[in-house]
Structure 1
Amino acid sequence: MAATSPSDDPARRILAAVRAIPHGQVAGYGEVARRAGLPGRARLAARVLAGNEDPSLPWHRVLRADGRIAFPEGSAGWREQCRRLRAEGVRVEGGRVRRERGPQDLDAAVWGPESL
């Protein structure tokens, strides 16, 4: 049986992708999974974050695909995530971060429709 390396562990890859989100920026669970090499595994990314106990992990930078905070509105987690995002200069309105949507890949950036 072949030995597995830490980079083969999906949870470690997801946590590394979360750590790579720059200060003041956010990503969706699906984006995190994709960056970890696990496309289509947004729910796995959410599960890994829910079970994380590392206080240095910037978990607050991860949102739902529509930019909403996943915690129930008004809950302690929701308030904490809003607080942390705002402290990094992220604009949060009603539990949602509005992001400009750029091209998702190089082909879209190069060959996508031009703005009028």
Structure 2
Amino acid sequence: MQPFTERVLKIILSIPKGRVMSYGQIAGCAGNPRAARQVVRVLYTLSDKYSLPWHRVVNAKGEIVIKEDNNKKTQRDLLEAEGVTVINNRIPLQKYNYYPTFTFEEY
């Protein structure tokens, strides 16, 4: 497994219940702020294997961006069950955004 992927997994697993992070924010914390699409790939391919809390990851505007309606509803329901307010598929980031206390530097 690539070091960037390992860092992304650690960050996603650290997101506490009731909080969210954006794809780009995770990429930046993992050492490559331009790798938001790689974060999407990690979530898509490794969520089941590592029991990732995929529902806690949204876009930079706080929006749920899953296109498929059932999965969009699942993400919304999981977030609301954790106490996150979702209005028109958008989460107010100023209230629910998570900022980890650790980051990784890319060399």
- Same fold, TM-score > 0.5, yes or no: yes
Instruction: Give the structure-1-normalised TM-score.
Output: 0.74
Unaligned 5+ residue runs, structure 2?
100-107
Q: Which has the higher contact order (CA 8 A, sep 6+)?
A: 2
Task: Look up the match of 2:12.
Answer: 18
The structure that has the greater radius of gyration is 1
Query: What are the residue-to-residue correspondences of 1:9-88 with 2, within 5 Å?
Result: 9-52=3-46, 53-54=48-49, 56-72=51-67, 75-88=69-82
State, as a whole percentage, how many aligned pairs show the same letter.
Answer: 36
Cα RMSD (Å):
2.1
- 2:88 paired with 1:94: yes
Q: Render the CA deviation track for 1:20-50: whole Å, top value 9, x for unaligned.
A: 1121110100011111122211111011111
Give the paired residue count.
96
What amino acid is aligned across from residue 7 of structure 2 in structure 1? R
What TM-score do you get using the length of structure 2 for normalisation? 0.79
Return 5+ residue gaps in structure 1 as ranges.
1-5, 105-116
